[in-house]
Homo-oligomer: A and B are copies of this chain.
Amino acid sequence: MLYPDTITLTNPLDMHLHLRDGEMLHHIARESAKSFSGAIIMPNLVPPVTSKEEVQAYRKRIVEAIGDETFTPYMTLFFKPTYDKTFLESVKNDIAAIKLYPAGITTNSEGGVSGFDIEELRPALEAMEELDIPLCIHGETNGFVMDREAEFVPIYEKLAAAFPKLKIIMEHITTKESVAALERFENLYATITVHHLYITLDDVAGGMLNPHLFCKPIAKRPEDREALLKAALEAHPKVMFGSDSAPHPRHAKESCGCAAGVFTAPVALQLLAQLFEHHGAPLEHLQQFVSGTAQKIYGITPPSKNVILEKKPYTVKETYGGVVPMYAGETIDFSIREIQHG
């Protein structure tokens, strides 16, 4: 399907974003704020965001770093099984979701959950269910790197069955097994990144080793990418765009022992437009994937922003504040022509 020369995306949302803190936050937050109306902000700082005061203070630092009001940071707490209903009620208006990390599974997740004992989790999760706070999960076990996500699917299903009114969002899914799980439980949702729609393990380690495409979960097999693509391109009603854009300084990516994360914030919408056009998916599906579906699932109304993309080659910058983006120095098919506010 040939897209018109310019396409307009309305109120794009990034439903999984790492903005970090301090200097890095100042380097990269504007890259998301420019082209998105809002984003779900991950809480895995050091220490993680676990109190009302920390959420409010982190939100304030983000707003200050961005310096305008056309982008809403939708805040999250770092899940603790000790959260009780009183606490959750008190913090409900400050957050859009709570993010659960299995212990030690990714950057700054050491204080996460070990084991998934339903009775241990019941008080917190029942309170979230009652208060309609979505639970975002980084779903990986400590197993073999290519199996970690598929091995976690039974845990997703156990939680979905035990808490049928809890919205559980399988974050940055990378496997056909996770896509299939969406159909088995009404209360399972998912985000998909742009890089997992483009790459497989071949792009990370099939030729030369490419640290800038190394992320957690690691990119999987071609048939996994096909399943993700299908869900995104058809605008699956439970699947949202979430970039998982994660900045690391160049030295942390290119040294021995490279950190996990792909920085896609400045190129995400252009790459999505390229992908949907390439596969001939209707433009409405792209609009659903980058905004409409998330608004419905989260019940949010982001600030008004029109991002006008045009089909015009764009050479991706080599770095943004010391961070190397996906496809740095390469030329992609779409550019951002204009951004209209209000």
Contacts and interface: CB of A to CB of B under 8 A. Distances in A.
B210 A145 contact: no
B206 A209 contact: no
Helix, strand, loop or mixed for chain A's interface?
loop
The copy count of this chain in the complex is 2
Given A205-B204, A205-B214, A209-B211, A221 B257 contact: no
Contacts of A206: 144-145
A257 B201 contact: no
A208 interface: yes
Interface string A311-334: 000000000000010000000000
Contacts of A221: 144, 146
A1 interface: no
Contact of A209 (B146, B200, B208, B258): B258
Interface in A233-269: 253-260
Interface string A178-215: 00000000000000000000001110111011111010
A260 B206 CA distance: 10
Contact of A210 (B201, B257, B259): B257
A228 interface: no
A133 to B, nearest CB: 32
Contact of A256 (B200, B201, B211): B211
A47 interface: no
Given A208-B260, A209-B211, A209-B260, A144 B201 contact: yes
Nearest to A324: B256
A201 B145 contact: yes
A258 B254 CA distance: 9
A218 interface: yes
A67 interface: no
A199 B263 CA distance: 29
Contact of A208 (B204, B212, B257): B257
Interface in A260-312: 260
A222 interface: yes
Nearest to A209: B258
Contacts of A214: 205, 209
Nearest to A254: B256
Given A209-B211, A209-B214, A211-B209, A145 B256 contact: no
Given A144-B221, A253-B256, A256-B324, 17 more contacts: A144-B222, A145-B201, A145-B202, A146-B146, A146-B201, A146-B221, A204-B205, A205-B205, A205-B218, A208-B260, A209-B211, A209-B257, A210-B256, A211-B258, A212-B256, A254-B254, A254-B256
Interface of A: 144-146, 200-202, 204-206, 208-212, 214, 218, 221-222, 253-260, 324
25 contacts: A144-B200, A144-B201, A144-B202, A144-B206, A144-B222, A145-B202, A145-B205, A146-B201, A204-B205, A205-B214, A205-B218, A208-B257, A208-B259, A208-B260, A209-B257, A209-B258, A209-B260, A210-B256, A210-B257, A211-B256, A212-B256, A253-B256, A254-B254, A254-B256, A256-B324
Closest 7 CB pairs of A and B: A209-B258, A145-B206, A208-B257, A209-B214, A254-B256, A145-B202, A209-B211
